[in-house]
Structure 1
Amino acid sequence: MTTLKDIAQLAQVSKSTVSRYLNNGQVSEKTAKKIEQVIAETGYEPNALARSLKATSSQLIGVIIPRFNSSSTSEVLAGIDEVAMKEGYNLLILNSNQNLQQEMEHIQTLDRQNVAGIILFSQKFHPALLDIVSKTKAKIMILGQSFERFNYTTYDDYQAGKLIAQHAIDLGHKDLLYINPSEEDEAVGKVRAHGFIDWVEQYPVKYQVISSSFDRLDNYRLAHQILPDITATYIACATDRMAISFLKAAIELEIEVPSQLSLSGFGGYNDGQFVHPNLTTVKYPFKEAGQVAMQSLLEGIEDQTEELKQITLGVELLQGKSTGPKKS
């Protein structure tokens, strides 16, 4: 039996475009003719129930972000917006300000507005939030975290931690320090940190983990507290923003990076490449994640199936000038 996906492939357009055509949405005359021809040739008959469900939905996608002042959020949003514009959807962006109650209220508000779908940037999953997500009528795509019961697009944070650990070990460092934010953030605070710890524990090296936050000022103050008496020769900060705060403090304390202290982050943001020395980091495909999350969400909306879409994107080491061999 011919499916909507078959029609899209034969017409060389997306499934969302075919769906818009079938529901009298806006498509170009040239595209409409291509789709019409393929439908005629295949004898495709659209599912009446799926079309009626689609007709009651909007062309609006709700996006719930944790905060505005985030480089990764900006890059992901650029990817989401690119696909949304291409497929004829509009975005409604709501900021939870890293507040769980606000996040849950935003989900309920968007669901009442009959949005076609929701992309949720989530740092932690409370049982109450899981309950709301499971009861939401709109399709939901979780971004940045992985959960067995839901659609998600995330990154290989465990591998990221291993990459930085191996880099430090390859440079000959025997005393390592890992600066970690709250473990309430599943991906960054737990998975990424565990990748680093599990890897270094395979080698005869000393390491310590110190808890901090994502805030730049908090990390700047922490760096000023611990750097004067530090014995570690390599510091791995859980994000580039945290690493930049440590780099600023090191410069002020006249600690030379990397000859006296190696320093790295995670993220691969442009900010980290415009400081001196530029940061060694793990590069994350943030814009690609936004594109993949949005496209996968739209495919789920068009298919009207319950099949889970769970995607993990790879990461890569980006070596800058902020790390170097341990001095003997």
Structure 2
Amino acid sequence: MLVYTKDTNFTSFGVGIMKTIADIAQLAGVAKSTVSRYLNGGSISVATKRKIERIIHETGYTPNNFAQSLKAKKPNIIGTIVPRLDSFASSQVLMGIDEQLRGLNYQMLIANTSQDLVREIESIYSLYNQKVAGIILLATQISEAHLKAFEETNLPVILVGQQHDQLYSLIHDDDSAGYDLGKYVLKNGHQKIAYLGVTEKDIAVGVRRKEGFKRAISEDDNCEVNYYETSFKMENAVEVTSSIIESFDPSIIVCATDNIALGALKAAHLKEIDVPSSLSIAGFGGYDVTGIIHPGLTTVKFHYEKVGRMAATSLVTLLNGGEIPRSQLSDYQIIERESVDNKLKR
């Protein structure tokens, strides 16, 4: 249905019909270049500025920030590359990035790689061609191809989740978190321990988290511990956990991520093993679901949204000529719930 307004000479289909600069220019009686100068903060007369502002207000026109950024000398689009969109950690980091960038008058453009490193490298070049101001990369690993792409595109880059001495990095304190969870396991009297990790190609989760845990366990000579590997997928964790239970029968399985821990809980349920009286399970991440399920999962909580905000602020600081540390650490806390049994109280 057409809606005619009485105080203007245009017709709108509801709110915000005027979609282009040409529409605004026609109604204001000025050239498109004049409207463009106004939108980009250029110099125009006060009278013309007020006329354009009135038309924009009456039409509900919203500028295309992406198009403006491509034309502007100083773009305000930040490219963000993520390995997967169906990850709690990734989604929380993205929320933090987006909220912080909005407050700093920047926009986010997301590239999802579905954990494909070739697509990850392609995304760096693609974002460069789309004239982004800089890139935030939620990394799983950094290869020579990454370094070459960063060198050739010459864009400011912040790594989130991984560390490299040639790049600015914002990382979780995986080593300390692994160590503290290891000490927690020992404090609860567990001596037959399984650690279910991931590939060591992932330095943060696959190496540092495990090394911190190993360091803690090595301080107790009475422990028997075996280390296993799975993928990040829950269904794979179910299969590997079943095999661990049958071959090793540990009193606790410590999992490198909460997703893996959820798979371990599923495997225990399928085998009709009670958690935590017969098998304790712990993870890393602090996903929301871990506090809703029964038994609640004991986990190391990382503050993903805060990390996203820190990454956004750091990149914008670089873009404006400021200085930031080469590497930054985010904090964590152990959330104690029902999935870990205290053997010393028996």
- Show the counterpart of 1:45: none
- Show the counterpart of 1:41: none
Q: How many residues align?
A: 277
Question: Which whole-Å CA distance do the structure 1 matches of 2:180 and 2:41 have between them?
Answer: 50
- Show the counterpart of 1:325: 342
Deviations 1:15-39 (A, max 9, x none): xxxxxxxx849xxxxxxxxxxxxxx
Are residue 228 (structure 1) and residue 210 (structure 2) matched?
A: no
Structure ID, larger Rg? 2
RMSD, aligned α-carbons: 1.8
- Show the counterpart of 2:110: 93
- TM-aligned CA distance change 1:326 to 1:304, over 3 Å: closer
Are residue 274 (structure 1) and residue 292 (structure 2) matched?
A: yes
Report if the CA contact (8 A) 1:57-1:115 is conserved: no
Question: Which whole-Å CA distance do the structure 1 matches of 2:289 and 2:151 have between them?
Answer: 37
1:148, distance to aligned residue in structure 2 (A): 1.4
Are residue 253 (structure 1) and residue 243 (structure 2) matched?
A: no
- Show the counterpart of 1:290: 308
- Show the counterpart of 1:28: none
Residue 146 of structure 2: which of 111, 129, 135 is its match?
129
Report if the CA contact (8 A) 1:159-1:315 is conserved: no
Are residue 240 (structure 1) and residue 258 (structure 2) matched?
A: yes
Residue 213 of structure 1: which of 210, 223, 231 is its match?
231
- TM-aligned CA distance change 1:304 to 1:162, over 3 Å: closer
Question: Which whole-Å CA distance do the structure 2 matches of 1:280 and 1:170 have between them?
Answer: 14
Report if the CA contact (8 A) 1:228-1:253 is conserved: no
- TM-aligned CA distance change 1:304 to 1:292, over 3 Å: closer
Deviations 1:261-294 (A, max 9, x none): 1110000001111111000000001000000000
Question: Which whole-Å CA distance do the structure 1 matches of 2:151 and 2:215 have between them?
Answer: 33
Report if the CA contact (8 A) 2:96-2:305 is conserved: yes
> What letter is aligned with 2:207?
K
1:134, distance to aligned residue in structure 2 (A): 2.9
Are residue 145 (structure 1) and residue 162 (structure 2) matched?
A: yes
- Show the counterpart of 2:217: 200
Question: Which whole-Å CA distance do the structure 1 matches of 2:77 and 2:331 have between them?
Answer: 29
> What letter is aligned with 1:214?
F
Report if the CA contact (8 A) 2:156-2:315 is conserved: yes
Report if the CA contact (8 A) 2:195-2:225 is conserved: yes
SS in 1 for 2:193: strand
Are residue 173 (structure 1) and residue 190 (structure 2) matched?
A: yes
Report if the CA contact (8 A) 2:172-2:302 is conserved: yes
1:119, distance to aligned residue in structure 2 (A): 0.4
SS in 2 for 1:58: coil
Deviations 1:89-123 (A, max 9, x none): 11110011111111111101111222111100110
Deviations 1:164-193 (A, max 9, x none): 101110001111100011111110000101
> What letter is aligned with 1:226?
I
Q: Percent identity?
A: 33
Unaligned runs of 5+ in 2: 1-39, 43-70
- Show the counterpart of 1:59: 76
> What letter is aligned with 2:276?
P
Deviations 1:237-264 (A, max 9, x none): 0000100111111122111111111110
Deviations 1:213-241 (A, max 9, x none): 10111111222223234331111000001
Report if the CA contact (8 A) 2:275-2:339 is conserved: yes
Unaligned runs of 5+ in 1: 1-22, 26-53
SS in 1 for 2:128: helix
- Show the counterpart of 1:118: 135
Question: Which whole-Å CA distance do the structure 1 matches of 2:336 and 2:41 have between them?
Answer: 51
- Show the counterpart of 1:17: none
Report if the CA contact (8 A) 2:261-2:283 is conserved: yes
SS in 2 for 1:303: coil
Residue 78 of structure 1: which of 95, 102, 107 is its match?
95
Question: Which whole-Å CA distance do the structure 2 matches of 1:134 and 1:194 have between them?
Answer: 31
SS in 2 for 1:265: strand
Question: Which whole-Å CA distance do the structure 1 matches of 2:333 and 2:325 have between them?
Answer: 27
Deviations 1:58-79 (A, max 9, x none): 1100000001110000100010
Deviations 1:37-86 (A, max 9, x none): xxxxxxxxxxxxxxxxx962311000000011100001000100101111
Question: Which whole-Å CA distance do the structure 2 matches of 1:144 and 1:116 have between them?
Answer: 21
